[in-house]
Structure 1
Amino acid sequence: ADGFVRGLVCFYYIGLEGISILENAAEIGVLIPEKLKDILIQLKDGE
């Protein structure tokens, strides 16, 4: 059970940081696919 919870926490933080990196990359002008931009906008609006 400890490994399961640890894995979930790791994936949560990796996902959170990944989203942050993508948002920052989009702001500085890195080309990001439109579908991915739409997903980021939806996630941002949900917060």
Structure 2
Amino acid sequence: MLRRTLSIVDALIAATALAHDLTLVTRNVTDFEGVPVRTLNPFT
């Protein structure tokens, strides 16, 4: 299992999405792998 370091900014974004039951819309979905947040890449 590969561990990645989540930046503080990405962690705050993910925490906000989780706290408010939101879908995180980003082109960088790989940045949030391993985080239990729904992600959506609008370009796929």
Q: By the TM > 0.5 criterion, same fold?
A: no
Structure whose residues are more often helix by fraction: 1
Structure whose residues are more often strand by fraction: 2
TM-score by length of 2: 0.34
Q: Between the two structures, name the one with larger relative contact order (CA 8 Å, sep ≥ 6).
A: 2
